[in-house]
């Protein structure tokens, strides 16, 4: 039955649907008892331990989804994700697979401060063996969760925790291929490459730019590992101008990677220097005024598109 | 005592580990191998005594000192040696080496280069066995060093709370790299750490394979019956330094004292005194294993190196959905060389 959902409800919908389809799907996390009947398992506050349990369970016939309540807590689980899940298949010469989803919601909001607001997805986007998806909309969240559960590789599922987007979801909303970007707005004058929580602001910026006569294309990466290089390069080839917009810090980020990609493979398309729109380089603060100051706003994106050489 | 029908098999496993490791040490001295190899010599009673009770479908997660666990789980000399020689015919096609050697067809979830990381993996395999109700059990091998990592406590807590069919086997060889246990812990027995978490913690003489065999039987029976996990702390000792033939800061008198209670010599004496085997029978077993080892080294040295273009294969699985089984019976090996394929079929 069609139902309007937010991003969290869409993720739940996908997990429920997949559990009905596949008896090996289980859900592990904190405060999850009863969330999916007897298919969700309450874990202690021990992210390293239960993420490792998820890896072991994936090696032994299950398709676990491990929930990191706030993505920031993934720091505890770096070993099972980076040294175990990502590398086991390769280290064993292809003789094993790790069909594991690590659900890792990221994003800032006022009042939650420095340890519950980060966007750390870039850290994982350079690790061979992992896939990293960053859905910004409920429909993408459902489709990418279905795909992530069915994927035989470890997938870090980084939904935009505070996305305000609501969409009508139906049973016909199936899996969305991992590694495929979406063109959210077609335009010919400039390209904004974005993902996750910055999609909404990018679309608002594009509307403001349209009113000023700048027809802007918005590319939503949806997956940051592997990157949909073709979609980015095709858009830049068309518009000749590129701005990235993301909630992750700029140094060594997905935005840096997009910049490098366009330098290496799309340089001749560029009519102007590319610009990265990103948070200021400070931890996420508590006060709403400071959070607003830290995060990129719609006007920052507009300004970056209008004045690429500033 | 170990039942007669099982005793010689257990002895053979211990000897098989000892001879393999001594050959590896010699190959390093001869500069035939490279990379680290953490040797298991001295600890053979633990792997052999525990794994004697496991079916091929049961799970084992191991450590950086993993050769013994793989052999005890049924690992093959030839493919192990080929992996140490970094050959395409090795267990991991030359991509893992000593520290990541694994045989998923035996549900041996790998040696592990990260101290303690195998503990949650084994716990997770036990979790899967419980959810899937397939009757399997899981064993986590680890050392005293791993007992000071957080996931040791986290995994035991998760296993005890959920009554998972897992046995935690701590091989306390007194040293984590070069750090003596009491330098970094304010108590003697790791087994005591289980008690506060609500699971049995049992101290075992790790040099006496009959004791390991007996306590492992009890712990595994408890796991299989649904009563939950056990921590076995096997007091043991490694004869080599932390990393094979290189550097050993320990007091030679201490090493000698432990060698005086050699697990293989102790068990051989017992087999003879109880009339289960003659000296000649044990020697002929060793001869047979040495021939197998010679053949394994020859196989490894004749095997091809991995092709350079293989460097980016096996990073990702291309498949989705209900995946290929990883249960016993599949080897997961793909070998291009006909000669090698023929060898493996024999």
Domain ranges in chain A are: 3-169, 182-306
Q: Whole-prediction pTM value? A: 0.95
Asked if residue B16 belongs to a domain, the reply is yes
* B191: closest CA of chain A, how far (Å): 19
Tokens of A190: 């400039």
The helix/strand/coil state of A50 is helix
pLDDT of residue B319: 72
- Tell me the CATH number at B8: 3.40.50.970
Whether residue B120 has a cis bond before it, omega within 30° of 0: no
Helix ranges (DSSP H) in B97-243: 118-132, 150-161, 181-184, 192-195, 209-224
B176 near B169, Cβ under 8 Å? no
pLDDT of residue B341: 53
The one catalytic residue among A17, A47, A121, A257? A47
Chain B: residue nearest A79 by CA? Answer: B117
Query: Is any Cβ of chain B less than 8 angstroms from the Cβ of A49?
Result: yes
Tell me how far apart the alpha carbons of residues A260 and B339 are, in angstroms, rounded to a whole number.
Answer: 46
Strand partners, B103: B108
Residue B57 belongs to domain spanning? 4-310
pLDDT of residue A11: 97
CB-CB under 8 Å, A150 with B321: yes
Q: Which tens digits make up the pLDDT trace of A205-247?
A: 999 999 999 999 999 999 999 999 999 999 999 999 999 999 9
Tokens of B321: 């959905």
Please list every residue in chain B whose beta carbon sits closer than 8 Å to the beta carbon of residue A78.
none
Question: Would you call A47 a catalytic residue per the annotation?
Answer: yes
Tokens of A104: 């890792």
B122 near B332, Cβ under 8 Å? no
Contacts of B229 (CB under 8 A, 6+ apart): B126, B156, B159, B160, B163, B164, B165, B166, B167, B168, B199, B222, B223
pLDDT of residue B246: 84
Tell me how far apart the alpha carbons of residues A243 and A250 are, in angstroms, rounded to a whole number.
Answer: 13
* pLDDT confidence tier of residue A139, bands split at 50, 70 and 90: very high
pLDDT of residue B335: 41
Surface of A (74-103) touching B: CB under 8 A:
79-80, 83-84, 88-97, 99
Closest residue to B315, CB basis, from A50, A53, A128: A128
CB-CB under 8 Å, B131 with A129: no
CATH superfamily of A3-169: Thiamin diphosphate (ThDP)-binding fold, Pyr/PP domains (3.40.50.970)
Q: Is the backbone of residue A67 left (phi > 0), alpha (psi -120 to 50) or beta? A: beta
Question: What percent of chain A lies above the pLDDT cut of 90?
Answer: 97
Q: Which CATH code, of 1.20.1070.10, 3.40.1440.10, 3.40.50.920, 3.10.20.30, is assigned to A182-306? A: 3.40.50.920
Tokens of B116: 């303690």
Over its C-alpha atoms, chain A yields an Rg (Å, rounded) of 19
Please list every residue in chain A whose beta carbon sits closer than 8 Å to the beta carbon of residue B154.
44, 46, 48-50
Please list every residue in chain A whose beta carbon sits closer than 8 Å to the beta carbon of residue B75.
none
Q: Which tens digits make up the pLDDT trace of A259-290?
A: 999 999 999 999 999 999 999 999 999 999 99
Number of domains in chain B: 1
Please list every residue in chain A whose beta carbon sits closer than 8 Å to the beta carbon of residue B136.
60
Torsion of CA A274, A280, A286, A290, to 10 degrees: -90
Question: Do the domains A3-169 and A182-306 sit in the same CATH topology, yes or no?
Answer: yes
Residue-level pLDDT, tens digit, chain B, 346 residues: 899 889 999 999 999 999 999 999 999 999 999 999 999 999 999 999 999 999 999 999 999 999 999 999 999 999 999 999 999 999 999 999 999 999 999 999 999 999 999 999 999 999 999 999 999 999 999 999 999 999 999 999 999 999 999 999 999 999 999 999 999 999 999 999 999 999 999 999 999 999 999 999 999 999 999 999 999 999 999 999 999 888 889 999 999 999 999 999 999 999 999 999 999 999 999 999 999 999 999 999 999 999 999 999 999 998 765 433 333 333 334 443 444 455 455 4
B100 near A91, Cβ under 8 Å? yes
pLDDT of residue B330: 36
pLDDT of residue B338: 46
pLDDT of residue B5: 83
pLDDT of residue B334: 41
* B6: closest CA of chain A, how far (Å): 28
* B66: closest CA of chain A, how far (Å): 14
What are the strands, taking DSSP E only, across chain A? 3-5, 25-29, 35-38, 40-42, 63-67, 101-103, 131-133, 155-157, 167-169, 182-185, 190-194, 216-220, 223-225, 242-245, 275-277
Question: Would you call A9 a catalytic residue per the annotation?
Answer: no
Asked if residue B70 belongs to a domain, the reply is yes
The one catalytic residue among A30, A116, A229, A306? A116
């Amino acid at each position: 039955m069609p139902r309007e959902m937010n991003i969290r409800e869409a993720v739940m919908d996908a997990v429920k649907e997949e559990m009905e389809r596949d008896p090996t799907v289980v859900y592990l996390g904190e405060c999850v008892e009863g969330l999916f009947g007897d298919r969700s398992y309450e874990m202690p506050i021990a992210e390293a331990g239960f993420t490792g349990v998820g890896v072991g369970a994936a090696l032994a016939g299950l398709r676990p989804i491990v929930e990191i309540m706030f993505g920031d807590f993934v720091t505890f689980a770096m070993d099972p994700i980076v040294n175990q899940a990502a590398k086991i298949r390769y280290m064993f010469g292809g003789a094993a697979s790790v069909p594991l989803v690590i659900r890792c919601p990221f994003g800032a909001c006022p009042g939650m401060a420095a340890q519950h607001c980060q966007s750390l997805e870039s850290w994982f986007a350079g690790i061979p063996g992992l896939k990293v998806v960053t859905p910004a909309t409920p429909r993408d969240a459902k489709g990418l969760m279905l795909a992530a559960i069915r994927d035989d590789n470890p997938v870090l599922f980084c939904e935009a925790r505070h996305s305000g987007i609501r969409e009508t979801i139906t049973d016909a909303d199936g899996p969305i291929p991992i590694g495929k970007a979406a063109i959210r707005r077609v335009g010919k004058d400039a390209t904004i490459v974005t993902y996750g929580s910055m999609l909404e602001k990018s679309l608002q910026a594009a509307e403001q730019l349209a009113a000023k006569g700048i027809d802007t294309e918005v590319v939503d990466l949806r997956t940051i590992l592997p990157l949909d290089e073709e979609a980015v390069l095709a858009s830049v080839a068309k518009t000749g101008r590129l701005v990235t917009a993301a909630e992750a810090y700029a140094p060594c980020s997905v935005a840096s990677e997009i910049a490098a990609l366009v330098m290496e493979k799309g340089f001749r398309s560029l009519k102007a220097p590319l610009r990265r729109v990103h948070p200021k380089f400070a931890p996420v603060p508590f006060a709403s005024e400071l959070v607003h100051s830290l995060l990129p706003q719609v006007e920052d994106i507009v300004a970056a598109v209008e004045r690429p050489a500033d | 005592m170990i039942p007669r029908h099982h005793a010689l098999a257990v002895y053979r496993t211990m000897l098989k580990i000892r001879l393999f490791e001594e050959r590896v040490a010699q190959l390093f001295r001869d500069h035939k191998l490279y990379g680290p190899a953490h040797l298991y010599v001295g600890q053979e009673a633990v792997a052999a005594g525990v794994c004697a009770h496991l079916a091929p479908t049961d799970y084992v997660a191991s450590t950086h000192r993993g050769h013994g666990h793989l052999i005890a789980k049924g690992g093959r000399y030839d493919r192990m040696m080929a992996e140490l020689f970094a050959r395409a015919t090795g267990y991991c096609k030359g991509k893992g080496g000593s520290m990541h050697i694994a045989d998923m067809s035996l549900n041996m979830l790998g040696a592990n280069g990260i101290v303690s990381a195998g503990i949650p993996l084994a716990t997770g395999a036990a979790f899967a066995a419980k959810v899937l109700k397939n009757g399997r059990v899981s064993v986590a091998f680890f050392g005293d060093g791993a007992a000071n990592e957080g996931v040791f406590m986290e995994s035991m807590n998760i296993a005890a709370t959920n009554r998972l069919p897992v046995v935690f086997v701590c091989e306390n060889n007194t040293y984590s790299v070069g750090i003596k246990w009491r330098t970094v812990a304010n108590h003697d027995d790791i087994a005591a750490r289980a008690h506060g978490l609500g699971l049995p913690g049992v101290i075992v003489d790790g040099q006496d394979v009959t004791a390991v065999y007996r306590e492992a039987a009890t712990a595994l029976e408890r796991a299989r019956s649904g009563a939950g996990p056990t921590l076995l702390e096997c007091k043991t000792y490694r004869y080599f330094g932390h990393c094979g033939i290189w550097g050993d800061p320990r007091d030679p008198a201490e090493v000698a004292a432990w060698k005086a209670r050699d697990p293989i010599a102790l068990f051989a004496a017992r087999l003879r005194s109880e009339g289960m085997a003659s000296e000649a029978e044990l020697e002929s077993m060793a001869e047979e294993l040495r021939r197998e080892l010679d053949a394994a080294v020859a196989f490894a040295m004749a095997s091809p190196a991995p092709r350079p273009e293989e460097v980016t294969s096996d990073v990702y699985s291309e498949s989705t959905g209900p995946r290929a089984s990883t249960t016993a019976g599949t080897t997961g090996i793909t070998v291009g060389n006909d000669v090698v394929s023929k060898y493996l079929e024999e």
